[in-house]
Amino acid sequence: MERFPRVLDLGAGDARFSRAVDAYDSYTGIEFDPAKAHSVTLPEKAKLIEADAMAWVDQGFSLCIGNPPYIRYHGLEVKWREKALQTLEDATGVQLKRSANAFVMFLLRALQLTADDGLVVQLIPFEWVTRPSAKELRDHIKTNGWATTVYRFDCEIFPRVLTTASITIIDKRRKDPVWKFGIIGKGGQVRSIAEPSGSSEAVLAYAKRAEDIYGLRGLSPGGQDIFVLTEEERLQFALRKTRDVTPCVTTLRHLGQDLAVLDAEAFNRLYVAAGKRCWLIRSDKDVLSEPLQAYLKAVGNRWRAYSTCTERSVWWRYKPHPAPEMLFSSGFVGSGTKVLVNKVRAIAAGSVYGVISTGARSVDKIADELRGYDFAKRVVSHSNNLKKVEVRQLNAVLAEIA
C-alpha cells in the first residue's frame, strides 16, 4: 500500500477517510459544519479543522481525498458562491461558470492544494466529465496533461441522491492526454470502457440552436405546486381555461411508449382526469382576472421557498414560453425517450423539453426519428438506470436529422 506524507480531505464530514491510518503520516480534514467538526473521535495522526474549504489556506499535500457535497449551484448561497468562484480564479486562473456545482469547485480546489506531484481522488457525480458547467475544469486538467481516470458506479451507492457516482483519480505525477474510463459493478468488479457513454459511441456533442428547429428547456416559473395546478385546484379557485390557465405538461413518465400524439382527448384522459398537474396559471399576463389574483393571494408566503420567485421584482410574473410543436422527455430508461406531437399546444415544463419547429419538414416525421434515435449509446448515466439528454445535445440531434 502506498503511504502518503500529507493527506487533505475537503468537506470531511465525519472524517471517515482518516481511519486508514496505515496509508498516511498526517491527515487534515476540513469541515464547515461545527456539529460534525467537534463530534468526531480521530486517530492520533489526524486533525479535523472547522473551516470553509474555499477560504482555508495551505498547500503542498501529497493526496487530496474526499467526498465533497453534492450541492447544485442553485442551492448554494449566492454570496458564498461568488466569493468562492473568485477565490478559485485568483488562485488557479480558472474562471468556472456560475452554474458550476459545488463538487466541481471542490475538485478544482483539491487540484490547487495538492503538490505538483500530488494525487487527487474524489467521490463525485460522473456528470462532470461531459457537462458544460465543468468544461473549464476539464480544460484545466487537459492543459496540464495530468493522467485522469474516472470509474462510474453501476449501482446505487447513494440512494437519496439522484446522480450517478464516480471515483475520479487525477495523478499529477504522470502525464497522459488520453483519459481512461471504467465501470465498477455491484460486486466491486471493474471493467474498462472506451467512452463515458459506456458504449463505443462518443457522447453527444452540445450544439447551439438552429433558427428553424431547436430544443427549449422546460419552463421553470418557480414551484410547480404553485404555478401548475390540477383540475381540482383549477375548479376550486374558479380559474377559467385560456383566460387564467393553459395546458401544461411537466412529465411524460406515466405515458405508454406507443402514444405518439397528445391531442385534446389524450390530454383530458391522461392528465386532467388523472389528477396530474396540467394547468399553468397565466400570471405572466399584464392584466389578471380577479379569481387569479385571489389564487395568488391564497399562495401566501410559499413562493419564498423558490429562488426563481424571490429573484423577480414581481414574484409571480414569469417569462412565458411558446407552445412547442413537440414534447420531449429529457430523462429516460432504455434506448430511447418519449416524444409527442403536441396537438393540444401544451407548454413544456420541468424535465419536459419543447421542440420548436418552424421549417417545412413534417413534424410527425421528425418526432418519429427522435423516437427511433438510440440516445442511450450517446449520453452518460444520470442516475443508475436513468439517462438524461441535455437540451444542447438535443439540438445536435435535431441538426443531424432535420
Question: How confident is the model at residue 254, as a pLDDT?
Answer: 95
Residues 6+ away with beta carbon under 8 Å from 316: 222, 227, 281, 283, 296, 299, 303, 309
Question: How confident is the model at residue 38, as a pLDDT?
Answer: 77
Average pLDDT of each block of 10 consecutive residues along the chain (402 residues)?
A: 94 94 97 84 94 95 95 85 96 95 97 98 93 94 97 74 83 95 89 84 89 96 97 98 98 94 98 98 98 98 93 96 98 88 98 95 95 89 77 94 81
Burial of 175 (0-12, 13-18, 19+ CB in 10 A): exposed
Residue in this structure with the C-alpha cell 487533505, named with its chain if needed: 8
CA dist 160 and 297 (Å) reads: 34
Q: Do 363 and 326 meet the contact criterion of CB atoms below 8 Å apart?
A: yes
Residue in this structure with the C-alpha cell 486538467, named with its chain if needed: 141
Q: Coil, strand, or helix at residue 382?
A: strand
Residue in this structure with the C-alpha cell 464530514, named with its chain if needed: 13
What is the identity of the amino acid at 133?
S
What is the identity of the amino acid at 205?
A
pTM for this structure? 0.78
Question: How confident is the model at residue 186, as a pLDDT?
Answer: 83
Question: How confident is the model at residue 383, as a pLDDT?
Answer: 65
CA dist 194 and 381 (Å) reads: 15
Residue in this structure with the C-alpha cell 453501476, named with its chain if needed: 154
CA dist 27 and 67 (Å) reads: 15
Q: What totals of helices (H) and strands (E) does the chain contain, helices first?
A: 11, 21
Rg (CA), the chain: 24
CA dist 347 and 330 (Å) reads: 15
Residue ranges of domains in the chain, CATH in brackets: 4-193 (3.40.50.150), 213-401 (no CATH)
**What does each C-alpha distance from 118 to 125, 137, 147, 272 come to in angstroms?**
22, 17, 11, 58
Question: How confident is the model at residue 401, as a pLDDT?
Answer: 87
CA dist 239 and 295 (Å) reads: 9
**Could you please report the per-residue DSSP string of 30-41?**
EES-HHHHTS--
Q: Do 246 and 228 meet the contact criterion of CB atoms below 8 Å apart?
A: no
Neighbours of 18 (CB within 10 A): 24
The helix or strand, by DSSP H or E, that contains position 92, with its residue range, turns out to be: helix 78-92
